[in-house]
Structure 1
């Protein structure tokens, strides 16, 4: 790879977007072009790019840090790597992501079930949502690079944790030479993106609609007098503008990095704040710090440590399907209903609840402290043989406080004289990894053997207390609650123990073979299956361009062919699925004890993914054009599923079993090209795409299907295909909606039992990726990135609610709700509004059918960044500043979609999907969750 180098005195470290590379130099002057060996970080090891035989995507930290600092790192990765499908859980500042690497990770219906394994500077954090929280606690400004390990050859060494892929983060390290100090600041604002493909009624439209409904005899609608109409029209306003605001974002970071040949250090501190788009709350603040130190006091010994701290404070909103959620209230409230009553109090509106008052007087806060750290030591026993031990862990304290202040509107409704709920949770996980690495070369033959022993322990404790009836009206702490109402708590613990090995054989950097094997023991599985089967992988690569016949090619500059096969495991499951537990309680004044609703399965065993990957890396014209292509097959065996009404126990019990098999197949393509490459002007373009197919191969326990509300698992079809009554459109003669029955006939009487699987329509995309461009002209730079997704469907409950004439008595409506059948012959309209006397079967209102199942494909202009850098040559030697960079960044600037609303949906309604025992299917439906926002940021960075 040809890289243009700058002048340094002791050494050079290069960050190339594809990896990290280094070269020692003896002179101050480095030749203009030097071939530098790229290094890819795989977690346990670092390998030259020529030695890599697996499917790994590498993303530079610089390309991610352009996003808002309050954006989580996982969200910033969206569209950057082929095969990685990422969607923000919702638009809430500080929120996490739903991540699928190479398709649906598994069938478990809970948030975080498909998470990859997260590794930070070699420390294994975990593969659950708690691990993602720790990963996202690191300020993206501290990222050096991210490696995404996608196939078995890369991830099998992680055994039971690697089934859904691995994301390896390398944080910034110090460099030899004079200390470098950087100061950076970004300030800006964000607004909710405008409603896409629909609009709400204004006062005139809604009043006219209500008059029409009244004339049709629809129950609940009132007659409007001329005077009442005039008074209401004078109050017309937009509730979105009353409930929402423009948020203010600010971010500051200071970092010091330096070192010498024996030791390197980095220290950084950061502060981020985003008060959010909802009035009366401050959505998110966080304070971050990171320290990293590495030293080599002798030729044989090296050691290092890193420590990160994150303290965040967030004010929450109710993410639920009623007007306690401001994002439903702003659509439900009629535009002729004022914010305040005449006496100055908040107007509860026809909905009977004043959301702006609740945001003030029903506060909910989450304070979270995360400490993550690791320490390692490496000793060279003999030449080529190194022993390394590493201890890493994290501690996470979460305190959640929910209050209903005394005298608030909700307090008066409940009659409880004030309430407070205090929840405190402590999570602690540590991992000790020990490796013995032997590297030896004999002429053209090189061997690299790594042996591994690893132990992990996780502990979690939780306690919650609820008190009511505040003694003092001005105090809302738990100690002021005179009536104890509820208390709960638990402790959790699991342990894993692993051992394995990794072998690489390299012949002249032309032919590379790798193999790995690992076995795990995990206390979360049944007593009969604590030990996993051995997880293994085999892979090979041929560097064609290292052959003599290809070295002198003026066109082909890179060609490497890869193939791999192997198995990986999955252990991201809840605790005690394997144990038969008892739960205590009280009936009246008598203590009781009953079996837990989850009946433990002592035979529960590991999910296993068997993977094949066939790929190629190529480059032309000295890598001016380069790319990768990979075809993969992932077959998941024995996925875990909760089965209700366990037959041997009956009643309301359920148990978790190994319920079936699943397969994902896909093609990944990444391309980049330097269109113009000169001394003063560079222009490059890039793109990646993933083409996917999914199939549920088999269900066990005598089942062929399992229904989850509007989604279904059925053998032979895409997982979580939609399961709905199909609409046959409108009867043009009478305006009634026509439905297909289960056997294919038609009827005007709705029956939910006529629901069928909608073939080819599920929340899973069959095409996703990103593309972008970068330009540099002298000191100016421009970067633009787009993301896209296609083939995925989302059920639009918001559209159903806002078009349903039955809801219009109390709620505002979409403007197109007035486009209903009025005369014979009309077809492309909504059904005729009916009252119970003339509705088919007496069933009124719009029903849950595939009428509101919408294509959620989209293209989004994710990020645009424009900057100008003033270098030392321009600044001059009199000032101690090395460079100054100013920038302007915009995010979510435009969206193209047919979906009626925001198509980038993950959580539809938090309180309906993310609680214990609830069903979360990523992107299944849209239902008033925190929306995406459009953001503008101005930044300045100084380097001393």
Structure 2
């Protein structure tokens, strides 16, 4: 955008909609108006909004900057873009996200498998979980904007990496003029959100419950004497208050931006801390730095560089369904059990493990260092012909240290004299992109042709070891261990090579056609499929706004029709799935070798997504009302799936194959409206929503279904539909729980073989989005954002545990009292003393759809209110340009029928996120780090 305004007298420049208006203060007012071209970053290029034929959503960095420092960028994007379904992995400070753009990305059941491709200032970071870590390592205060590329027309140029969409981050750049110095700080606190739709028993209730169970003859319960009851009631307390705390949050950032017509620069430093809600540990610290420089030393040459550094340190807690998990302990420990025994030591409780002692004496730390860098040079060969070369990459080092201190409770159980485990991983990835861009205008005809050659290399090395038995009791370094226990390590490498072309043609900005083609070579795929098929796209748009029949229309200010079709690939797979490899090891003093448990597949090839998109962009009343409508169909072919227990190879081997086809289709709607728009007073509203459907069309390898515990893949149904025995409720005559058999009969005898697919019930939401409002009056501003999901189900293992009356050592939910006691009762829990077909025992709750719950919710995600003091208040001579003070809150309210937190991604961290684990986003909830409610006070100063 180039706007030259020459105004002699004192004047003012302000913006309305897409127009800049310059107005002098003379008596004879002269107003000059020129349309501002909105620019959209499409990845390798920048395009004016008029030229865009694809489904792209742009989110401003400012709208993401109000969140807590420990809420990473991908999480802050939740609810901001139609078609983008984001869930925090859990509530842990610094935790990432599960991201699905336009439905389920793919079937591979591992964390990060459905990630989009991440691009930062033009350099390709990757589409694995570590790429998301690099993206999230950038302080949100450094964001200029984020473009989400959703259809093939936008993402096909990225070929084998773009199947799950692309998230393009543009960081802030310097501006010509006097240097601007900014300082911002946020301090505040967070606390666990209150338990939703359930309450745990207090001491009196739990003792009464135990007495009732003893009277009913339930195994393990005994009646309390009056003296024992009185002593226990004196100990009543809430374990959540003992194990958890209110966290302290602080964030500071300073930045400098400036430049002139020849060069521009920006520089920032930041520090963030969130000690978390768990006692005895400091959850998260982060130090960030970023610089960006752009220059045009000659009329033909432009160049630039950016670099970021992030160092973070986190202390971990066990996130698994066992006694070492503090989030299970705070529910399982009985409220009459004290924190300390009489001698002052930690009480292990009936669970047999003192969690507060473990948080002190079983520390686990993760230190992460990430460098990302990007340099480019662009040379104008001749008028309209430019060559650009760009080199970008990142290096990350992650060091994980876990210890069991000598003499700790766990050490005494294990009898190992202390333990230290060190794991160190280095990752390095770089990409060199070279483009030749030809732009030519022939009257009303505009041509833009881009050619691309790209090379990527990735390296990863890992080493880990464990030592036991500390020689000196107070030193826990590896050098102090006298018993080497294990050592492991490996090196990995892959390369990709790509070439492609991208064409844009338009006539007078009315009729726009685009086309792209790209082909990739990737060493991760089988030797018979190293080279991909060509990935391509075709798209067109008709910008009716520029037609004469809509000229000077006072109602319709924007109307554009779009359509696209194309293919994209997927290469976010583990290394060495294509080769038969041998692993070395040893037995005692004897070395040995064996085949890897993953049996290589030389025919493994890319997953292919064929996409169709049909869209409308509209604006009314000079764009006071704007919105988009998009309908899409994504057909995924040859998705990659692990097939275990191969019968053709001896032993328990797994092979990854191209196993089937999947279809996602949906409708996306977004709208924003300026209800009031004036010089001093503005009020706007916004909303987006996505309606989704999913279908597994085909499974190969001679299968029609594949079972994953309580989830199933079956042809013709939603992927990962729940696969459970159906509960028939409680028999009002006997109080026994009843179950449906596979053929539709009813019985009170549980049989896991009666499990059936529950049609329409899966963890995948059918409807999701966000809505919000913004308000400003002079210096006052207010913003509120809501997110929501519906149609998704989650299995509530926590509810199963808390209502399991056969567990005589754990606390229970208060509604566990509501069990059957007399014939004719309905709407109650099964009777606890049912012994039907269980000789010598009690029939407890079973894994049925009784604990499968609708996880739909609406959440007040963020509210912020602020006031800006500027030169109008301070006067022109004051050295500060402006000061903004603000208050903000996150996760302030949730509306749901789910019993617990409905925003579930990881059900149990160590059971879902480790190597070889099955991760199905939102499938179940089981004591992961809970979501938190956060309050922040902020101040921003600009000099």
TM surpasses 0.5 = yes
Given that 1:749 and 1:843 are in contact with CA atoms closer than 8 Å, whether structure 2 keeps it comes out as no
In 2, distance between residues paired with 1:81 and 1:383?
A: 38
**Offset at residue 32 of structure 1 (A):** 7.1
The 1:31/1:457 distance shift into structure 2, 3 A limit, reads farther
Aligned to 2:236, the other structure's residue is in SS state: coil
The answer as to whether partners of 1:117 and 1:161 remain within 8 angstroms in 2 is yes
Question: Which runs of 5 or more structure 1 residues have no equivalent in the other structure?
Answer: none
What SS does the corresponding residue of 2:647 show, helix, strand or coil?
coil
Contact 1:712 1:719 in 2 (8 A): yes
TM-aligned CA deviation for residue 619 of structure 1: 0.5
Output the CA distance in 1 between the equivalents of 2:599 and 2:54: 41
Contact 1:191 1:247 in 2 (8 A): yes
Q: 1:6 to 1:787 in 2, by over 3 A?
A: farther
Q: 1:406 to 1:14 in 2, by over 3 A?
A: farther
Structure 1 residue 637 and structure 2 residue 637: aligned? yes
**Distance verdict in 2 for CA 1:524–1:493, change over 3 Å:** same
Aligned to 2:563: 563
Alignment of 1:323-722 (within 5 A): 323-722=323-722
| Distance apart, 1:647 and its partner CA | 2.5
- Separation in 2, partners of 1:643, 1:941: 54
Please give the secondary structure, in 1, of the residue aligned with 2:153: helix
- Deviation string 1:631-659 (CA, Å, 9 cap, x unpaired) is 00000000000001223114301100000
Contact 1:749 1:840 in 2 (8 A): no
User: 1:728 maps to what in 2?
Assistant: 728
What is the match of residue 911 of structure 1? 910
> Which residue does 2:261 correspond to in 1?
261
2:806 partner SS: helix
Distance in 1, matches of 2:645 and 2:911, equals 22
Aligned pair in 2 of structure 1 residues 857, 320: CA closer, same or farther (>3 Å)? Answer: same
Structure 2 CA distance for partners of 1:213 and 1:47, relative to 1, 3 Å: same
Note if 1:816 corresponds to 2:815: yes
The equivalent residue for 1:768 is 768
User: Could you tell me how far apart the structure 2 residues matched to 1:844 and 1:874 are?
Assistant: 73
Distance 1:720 1:480 in 2: 48
In the alignment, which residue of structure 2 is the partner of 1:920? 919
Q: Write out per-residue CA displacement over residues 255-281 of structure 1, whole angstroms, 9 at most, x where no aligned residue.
A: 000000000000000000000000000
Q: In 1, are the aligned partners of 2:836 and 2:843 still within 8 Å (CA)?
A: no
Paired residues for 1:198-217 under 5 Å:
198-217=198-217
In 2, Cα distance between equivalents of 1:902 and 1:445? 56
**Residues 23, 32 of structure 2: 8 Å contact kept:** no
CA contact under 8 A between 1:16 and 1:60: conserved in structure 2? no
Contact conserved, 1:331 with 1:812, CA < 8 A, in 2?
Answer: yes
SS at match of 1:241: helix
Distance of 2:708 and 2:212 partners within structure 1: 38
Q: Which residue of 2 aligns with 1:170?
A: 170
1:789-837 Cα offsets, whole Å, 9 max, x none, are: 0000000000000001011x11000000111111101121111112657
In structure 2, the residue corresponding to 1:232 is in which secondary structure? helix
Q: Quickly say closer, same or farther: Cα 1:760–1:843, change in 2 above 3 A.
A: farther
Distance 1:8 1:302, change over 3 A: farther
Q: How has the CA–CA distance of structure 1 residues 743 and 5 changed in structure 2, closer, same or farther, with 3 Å as cutoff?
A: farther
Matched, 1:41 2:41: yes
Residue aligned with 1:939, SS: strand
Instruction: Find the residue that maps to 1:413 and give its secondary structure.
Output: helix
| Deviation (angstroms), 1:30 | 10
Conserved in 1, the CA contact under 8 Å of 2:377 and 2:390? yes
Residue by residue, what CA displacement relative to the aligned partner does 1:34-84 show, whole Å, maximum 9, x if unpaired?
310000001100000000000000000000011112210000000000000
Distance in 1 separating the partners of 2:264 and 2:579 = 48
Counterpart CA distance in 1 for 2:810 and 2:610 is 51
Quick check: 872-881 or 445-454, which moved more? 872-881
Question: Aligned-pair distance for 1:300?
Answer: 0.1
Match of 2:785 in 1: 785
SS in 2 for 1:668: strand
| CA-atom RMSD in angstroms | 2.3
Deviates more, 1:327-336 or 1:31-40: 31-40
TM-score, normalisation: structure 2: 0.97
CA contact (8 A) 2:717 2:759 kept: yes
CA–CA distance in 1 between the matches of 2:377 and 2:23? 27
For 1:426-460, what per-residue CA distance to the aligned partner results, in whole angstroms no more than 9, with x for missing partners?
00000000000000000000100000000000000
Structure 2's unaligned 5+ residue stretches are none
Q: 1:666 to 1:776 in 2, by over 3 A?
A: same
Question: Is residue 127–residue 572 contact of structure 1 (8 Å, CA) maintained in 2?
Answer: yes
Query: Alpha-carbon deviation of 1:877?
Result: 2.6
SS of residue matched to 1:265: strand
Task: Measure, in 2, the Cα distance between the counterparts of 1:874 and 1:61.
Answer: 27
- Greater mean alpha carbon deviation, residues 162-171 or residues 583-592: 583-592
Call closer, same or farther: CA 1:463–1:220 in 2, change over 3 Å.
Answer: same
State the alpha-carbon separation in 1 of the partners of residues 586 and 836 from structure 2: 49
How far is 1:780 from its partner? 0.2
1-side partners of 2:798 and 2:368: how far apart?
32
Alignment match, 1:183: 183
Question: Which structure 2 residues correspond to residues 736-755 of structure 1 after superposition, within 5 A?
Answer: 736-755=736-755
The CA distance in 1 between the partners of 2:425 and 2:479, in whole Å, is 19
Alignment partner, residue 862 of structure 2: 863
